[in-house]
């Protein structure tokens, strides 16, 4: 049973970024031991009580763990702010009681690692702030499933600089897609670093092994070859062009329709988070069949994997390219295709483009397609939710097409 401790606090009205007004409980310059339950010791403003508190802030406190039990005291809590309080670690279990929060700010602390499942089950989270910590590793799936995000700040950390916000009183330096892209890039860099460390350990172990069988020696030879290849690839700044046609080390097959594509397993995992997840969950997999991907589009993507060369658009279905890049979570290629789609957007395909932008979550393409659709049908009353709801959009487009067909039939009848 946790011990209870009275902690001095102050209650007052406060405004968060985005003009979010809250009634806040502030614990300032307090020492809060781990495994204790806080009993707030302060006086509420007139006609206010614990049920009115929707934000708690710890400022310049001494903390070793996220305080627990606050939601039992403040049942309508929506925001947690820990500022300059020396917090070093935070885990999924630390936030188990806080899944109804809309905002979590852990600013100016000493957190070095954020696990990917930290916000699992959070359905209302709009704002996350971890700027000015000591973050070295953030697992890239940390933002998965957070569909209401308006503000994500990982800036001013050793390995992270991106800051996204929809709030007008903030100064972001990135889009949400760019924040997610930075997480993926840093994860890949960390994996490479770990791979180099493992390679060094393997090399040391080899030097200690004197009596091995033929199978082990063959495996060691393969490891040496892969290590040599990896060092060459790093020295060439991930330029894999010559390996696109070199079959020597290809150890995996991807099947698209009747076509088989030999590839390097480590490369496709590094370039596509979707393929990396499949391979991680199926370590013995030797071939993979991908459906609903045109052969020509996959050839373009495969060339991009090995060369970083962006394709030309002549004769290419960029909608298919965007969809495939979205499925495989290839951020750079998805953005490239989106740019080309927006540039060529016309009255023929805004409905299709809008559906794709919703399916693979691209804000700028969604906005441009929605505006083009309203321009194409100026007499239709488009409600805002149609821009993000494909089912409602399809239903409305069916109505529009039926009306157009009825109008044509009526015109033909009068003409005859």
Quick one: 69 and 214 in the same domain? no
CA distance 168 to 272: 34
CA distance 308 to 317: 19
Quick one: 209 and 356 in the same domain? no
Quick one: 35 and 82 in the same domain? yes
- Out of 174, 201, 221, pick the residue that ends a domain: 174
Question: Is residue 244, in this structure, part of any structural domain at all?
Answer: no
CA distance 90 to 92: 7
- Out of 122, 140, 174, pick the residue that ends a domain: 174
Is residue 57 helix, strand or coil? strand
Quick one: 302 and 393 in the same domain? yes
Quick one: 222 and 164 in the same domain? no
pLDDT score recorded for residue 136: 94
Quick one: 263 and 411 in the same domain? yes
Give the model confidence (pLDDT) of 282-333 as tens digits.
988 888 999 889 998 898 888 888 888 877 766 678 889 989 989 999 988 8
pLDDT score recorded for residue 243: 59
Quick one: 213 and 275 in the same domain? no
- Name 165's bridge partners: 151
Quick one: 130 and 219 in the same domain? no
- Out of 123, 152, 174, pick the residue that ends a domain: 174
Quick one: 364 and 223 in the same domain? no
What is the domain-level CATH number for residue 256? 3.30.710.10
User: Residue 47 region, left (φ>0) first, then alpha (ψ -120 to 50), else beta?
Assistant: left
Question: Is residue 247, in this structure, part of any structural domain at all?
Answer: no
pLDDT score recorded for residue 315: 66
Question: Is residue 36, in this structure, part of any structural domain at all?
Answer: yes
Q: Which residue numbers in the chain have pLDDT < 50? A: 230, 233-235, 237-238
Tell me what the pLDDT averaged over the chain comes to: 86
pLDDT score recorded for residue 190: 76
DSSP per-residue string spanning 192-214: HHHHHHHHHHHHHHHHH-----H
Domain that includes residue 199, residue range: 188-235
Quick one: 154 and 202 in the same domain? no
Quick one: 407 and 292 in the same domain? yes
The contacts of residue 50 (CB under 8 Å, 6+ apart) are 40, 44, 73, 74, 75
Question: Is residue 182, in this structure, part of any structural domain at all?
Answer: no
Question: Is residue 179, in this structure, part of any structural domain at all?
Answer: no
Question: Is residue 243, in this structure, part of any structural domain at all?
Answer: no
Quick one: 133 and 281 in the same domain? no
Count of structural domains within the chain: 3
Question: Is residue 324, in this structure, part of any structural domain at all?
Answer: yes
Q: CA separation (Å) from 335 to 63, 232, 311, 351?
A: 42, 29, 13, 19
Question: Is residue 245, in this structure, part of any structural domain at all?
Answer: no
pLDDT score recorded for residue 237: 39
Sign of CA pseudo-dihedral 318, 279, 267, 155: positive
């Amino acid at each position: 049973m946790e011990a209870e401790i009275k902690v001095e606090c102050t209650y007052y009205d406060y405004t968060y970024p985005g003009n979010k007004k809250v009634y806040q409980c502030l614990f300032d310059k307090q020492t809060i031991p781990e495994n204790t339950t806080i009993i707030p010791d302060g006086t509420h403003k007139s006609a206010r009580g614990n049920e009115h508190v929707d934000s708690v802030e710890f400022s310049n406190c001494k903390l070793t763990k996220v305080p627990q039990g606050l939601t039992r005291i403040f049942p309508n809590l929506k925001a947690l702010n820990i500022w300059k309080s020396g917090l070093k670690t935070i885990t999924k279990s630390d936030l188990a009681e806080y899944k109804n929060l809309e905002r979590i700010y852990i600013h100016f602390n000493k957190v070095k690692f954020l696990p990917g499942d930290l916000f699992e089950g959070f359905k209302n989270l709009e704002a996350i702030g971890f700027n000015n910590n000591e973050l070295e590793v953030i697992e890239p799936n940390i933002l998965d499933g957070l569909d209401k995000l308006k503000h994500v700040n990982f800036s001013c950390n050793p390995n992270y600089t991106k800051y996204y916000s929809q709030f007008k009183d903030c100064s972001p330096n990135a889009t949400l897609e760019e924040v997610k892209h930075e997480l993926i890039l840093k994860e890949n860099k960390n994996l490479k670093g770990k791979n180099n460390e493992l390679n060094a350990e393997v090399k040391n172990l080899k030097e200690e092994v004197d009596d091995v069988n033929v199978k082990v020696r063959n495996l060691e030879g393969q490891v040496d070859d892969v290590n040599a290849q990896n060092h060459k690839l790093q020295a060439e700044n991930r330029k894999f062009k010559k390996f696109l046609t070199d079959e020597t080390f290809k150890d995996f097959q991807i099947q698209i329709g009747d076509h088989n594509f030999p590839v390097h397993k480590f490369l496709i995992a590094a370039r596509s988070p979707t393929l990396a997840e499949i391979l991680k969950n199926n370590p013995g997999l030797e071939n993979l069949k991908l459906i609903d991907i045109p052969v020509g589009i996959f050839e373009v993507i495969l060339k991009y994997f090995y060369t970083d060369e962006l394709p030309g658009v002549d004769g290419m279905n960029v909608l298919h390219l965007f969809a495939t890049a979205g499925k495989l979570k290839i951020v750079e290629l998805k953005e490239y295709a989106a740019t080309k789609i927006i540039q060529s957007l016309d009255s023929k395909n805004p409905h299709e483009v809008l559906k794709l932008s919703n399916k693979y979550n691209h804000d700028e393409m969604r906005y441009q397609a929605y505006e083009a659709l309203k321009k194409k049908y100026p007499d239709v009353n488009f409600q805002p939710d149609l821009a993000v709801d494909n089912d409602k959009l399809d239903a409305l487009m069916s109505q529009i097409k039926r009306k157009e067909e009825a109008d044509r039939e009526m015109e033909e009848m009068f003409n005859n």
